[in-house]
Chain A
Amino acid sequence: MRFMMLMLPAGYEKAAPGAMPDAGAVSAMMKYNESLQKAGVLLALDGLHPPSMGARVSFSGGRPKVTDGPFTEAKEVLGGYWMIQVKSKEEAVEWASRCPASDNEVIEVRQVQEFSDFPADVKAAAAGFPDLQSGQQKGS
């Protein structure tokens, strides 16, 4: 099963555009990333620029409304993620626990949905979706 480990650094909602972690923190994090890689569990990872460089699109009233960052009122913002392949939630949690994160950081561990997780009606409703995405005829 796949899990996303979502890094939620408190304060990142206020970080200035172009803000970067310091070299020491990056080096510790690289070591951790390598340990995930060496264990054969890491599928993908990315770090995100601060929200002050991004935007939010909200849909209140059924219409998209764009708000440019920063989102100082936000309780939590995403700083980056890892996607890992493990055998259990416990294993994902164990990996998250080993992250050299600092006091202000929280890692949320979330399982990636698989098609087989869906109940029959959702499966039926979602069946055509990948076809739309790739512009193909439905496979037999």
Chain B
Amino acid sequence: MTATDTHRAIEAVWRIESARLIAGLARIVRDVGRAEELAQDALVAALEQWPESGVPDNPGAWLMATAKHRAIDLWRRNKLVERKHEELGRELEARQEMAVPDLDAALDDDVGDDLLRLVFTACHPVLSTEARVALTLRLLGGLTTEEIARAFLVSEPTIAQRIVRAKRTLARERVPFEVPRGAERAARLSSVVEVIYLVFNEGYSATAGDDWMRPALCEDALRLGRILAELVPEEPEVHGLVALMEIQASRSKARVGPSGEPILLFDQNRALWDHLLIRRGLTALDRAVALGGARGAYALQAAIAACHARAQTPEATDWTRIVGLYADLAEIAPSPVVDLNRAVAHAMAFGPQAGLDLVDALASGPSLRGYHLLPSVRGDLLRKLGRTDEARREFERAASLTRNARERELLLERAAACLIKLDARGERPSSRGKLEGAEGSRDP
């Protein structure tokens, strides 16, 4: 093995082991930041030693043993300092020797509970949402600061600082390394689910930048969601989240064109949808429903995505059911974005004029001002009604509002297509794109 091969092998081991390593250490040292530093020390030791010695047979155990030795060294050194300060006598010293924590026993326990503690700690409400996202990707996803920075188009020092601050906040606020109980648990779990979906969504429809999708981020979120579903298999909300992500991810390959341009739901080649992921998504949705979670926000969105997934063609979609599901969603998670998507489904079920009436009612309110999908949807409905010139102006307005370069291009193309249609008087425009049902919403 060359040094580069070994480095790549170490990266792979790190990806598999880091979360469990940090979680196990955090239980012992009761400080997530300290635990992560210890794990990092072990990684550095591996990078130094493995190119010479080769990758050990049980690399995870090696990393854990190394980190554990560091922990004991640190603990002894701290005790030493303490002792000097307090001028403790021989008797106390003996007692302290006995008090060395039984790390081996602690580490042999089931690591699942520790992972769950780590999940809840990384998504703790004392942290800002962006800090939770960064810390979750770092501690649970095993991503480097550089990878997180690249994924969110933020500079590396910014992310590094965000993580340092988050760890400091957790220590300062004395956030216990534990799984919350009772009423608190539900709210805290929702926060975890939200963080994971936020990561997924940033990968699925990047809010800014040149790429329409960042698939690696979707995969990281999916992996975190699947891990969480294994940790708390009794929680319907988590299965709803996994269902939604699996089904949305099933369209990844179909929703980007050869030069990176977005392809909207109606124009997607459904043969490119990933049926393995659809099947997994439908199974997860069944599980959420069986656990009594059919009316959860994620399960409802997953059910909407499932309506699309089951339809061989756009025309075969059960739009009436989708309208009903959006109505349910609007009840439990009222949001103008949900209303907008509902209007789109309404138009598909009952005609463009019916949809436009709903959209116009929304447009008169202030909540969607500046949201590019509002004029985009309006433009689409106007075009279907033959009001091409108004449609073109709406697409242009939508283009001026989006921060995503690929999306802007698409919207300008659709505006241009309206012009062609005007010239040709009645010729069908080349794109029959429309807003992707649930996919347009980032704010369920």
> A-side interface residues toward B, CB under 8 Å?
37-41, 43-44, 83, 85-88, 90-91, 93-95, 114-116, 123, 130-131, 133-134, 136, 138-140
Knowing A136-B313, A139-B267 are in contact, say whether A43-B227 is a contact too (CB < 8 A): no
State whether the Cβ of B12 lies closer than 8 Å to any Cβ in chain A: yes
Report the separation of the CA atoms of residues A131 and B312 in the bound assembly, to the nearest whole angstrom: 11
State whether the Cβ of B13 lies closer than 8 Å to any Cβ in chain A: yes
Q: Which of chain A's residues have a CB closer than 8 A to the CB of B219?
A: 85, 87
- Chain B 222-247, CB within 8 Å of chain A: the 1/0 string? 11111100110000000000000000
Q: Which of chain B's residues have a CB closer than 8 A to the CB of A43?
A: 276, 280
Chain A residue nearest to B20 (CB atoms) is A39
Q: How far apart are A63's CB and chain B's nearest CB, in angstroms?
A: 30
Q: How far apart are A140's CB and chain B's nearest CB, in angstroms?
A: 5
Chain B residue nearest to A139 (CB atoms) is B269
Q: Is the CB of A85 within 8 A of B15?
A: no
Which residues in chain B, 392-442, are within 8 Å of chain A measured between CB atoms? 430-432
Q: Which of chain B's residues have a CB closer than 8 A to the CB of A94?
A: 9, 12-13, 16, 59
Q: Which of B12, B225, B263 contacts A91 (CB 8 A)?
A: B12
Report the separation of the CA atoms of residues A10 and B5 in the bound assembly, to the nearest whole angstrom: 29
Knowing A38-B230, A40-B223, A83-B276 are in contact, say whether A131-B16 is a contact too (CB < 8 A): no
Can you give 15 A-B contacts (C-beta < 8 A)?
A: A37-B226, A38-B230, A40-B222, A85-B219, A88-B11, A90-B8, A90-B9, A94-B16, A130-B271, A134-B270, A134-B312, A136-B269, A136-B313, A138-B269, A139-B263
Chain B residue nearest to A91 (CB atoms) is B12
Chain A residue nearest to B112 (CB atoms) is A38
Chain B residue nearest to A133 (CB atoms) is B271
Report the separation of the CA atoms of residues A37 and B276 in the bound assembly, to the nearest whole angstrom: 15
Q: Is the CB of B16 within 8 A of A95?
A: yes
Between A44, A94, A115, A123, the greatest number of chain B beta carbons within 10 A of the residue's beta carbon is seen for A94
Q: Is the CB of B272 within 8 A of A130?
A: yes
Knowing A40-B227, A85-B223 are in contact, say whether A140-B431 is a contact too (CB < 8 A): yes
Q: How far apart are A37's CB and chain B's nearest CB, in angstroms?
A: 6
Compute the total of residue contacts between A and B using a CB distance below 8 Å: 82
Q: How far apart are B129's CB and chain A's nearest CB, in angstroms?
A: 22
Which residues in chain B, 337-357, are within 8 Å of chain A measured between CB atoms? none
Q: Which of chain A's residues have a CB closer than 8 A to the CB of B431?
A: 140
Report the separation of the CA atoms of residues A115 and B54 in the bound assembly, to the nearest whole angstrom: 36
Q: Which of B8, B226, B272 contacts A115 (CB 8 A)?
A: B272
Q: Is the CB of A37 within 8 A of B16?
A: no
Q: Which of chain B's residues have a CB closer than 8 A to the CB of A136?
A: 269-271, 312-313
Report the separation of the CA atoms of residues A138 and B270 in the bound assembly, to the nearest whole angstrom: 9
Q: How far apart are B377's CB and chain A's nearest CB, in angstroms?
A: 19
Which 4 A/B pairs are nearest by Cβ-Cβ distance?
A139-B269, A130-B271, A40-B226, A90-B12
Report the separation of the CA atoms of residues A86 and B12 in the bound assembly, to the nearest whole angstrom: 9
State whether the Cβ of B254 lies closer than 8 Å to any Cβ in chain A: yes
Give 6 A-B pairs besides A43-B280, A130-B271, A140-B430 with Cβ atoms closer than 8 angstroms. A40-B227, A86-B15, A87-B12, A88-B8, A136-B269, A140-B432
State whether the Cβ of B145 lies closer than 8 Å to any Cβ in chain A: no
State whether the Cβ of B268 lies closer than 8 Å to any Cβ in chain A: yes
Q: Which of chain A's residues have a CB closer than 8 A to the CB of B230?
A: 37-38, 40
Knowing A88-B8, A140-B430 are in contact, say whether A39-B312 is a contact too (CB < 8 A): no
Q: Which of chain A's residues have a CB closer than 8 A to the CB of B253?
A: 114-116
Chain B residue nearest to A41 (CB atoms) is B223
Q: Which of chain A's residues have a CB closer than 8 A to the CB of B268?
A: 139
Report the separation of the CA atoms of residues A75 and B115 in the bound assembly, to the nearest whole angstrom: 43
Q: Is the CB of B11 within 8 A of A90?
A: yes
Q: How far apart are B175's CB and chain A's nearest CB, in angstroms?
A: 25
Q: How far apart are A118's CB and chain B's nearest CB, in angstroms?
A: 11
Q: How far apart are B238's CB and chain A's nearest CB, in angstroms?
A: 12
Report the separation of the CA atoms of residues A85 and B225 in the bound assembly, to the nearest whole angstrom: 13
- Chain B 71-104, CB within 8 Å of chain A: the 1/0 string? 0000000000000000000000000000000000
Report the separation of the CA atoms of residues A72 and B432 in the bound assembly, to the nearest whole angstrom: 57
Q: How far apart are B359's CB and chain A's nearest CB, in angstroms?
A: 24
Q: Is the CB of B271 within 8 A of A134?
A: yes
Between B223, B224, B432, the greatest number of chain A beta carbons within 10 A of the residue's beta carbon is seen for B223
Q: Which of chain B's residues have a CB closer than 8 A to the CB of A134?
A: 270-271, 312
Which residues in chain B, 1-41, are within 8 Å of chain A measured between CB atoms? 5, 8-9, 11-13, 15-16
Q: How far apart are A116's CB and chain B's nearest CB, in angstroms?
A: 8
Which residues in chain B, 111-136, are within 8 Å of chain A measured between CB atoms? 112
Chain A residue nearest to B57 (CB atoms) is A97
Q: Is the CB of A130 within 8 A of B11?
A: no
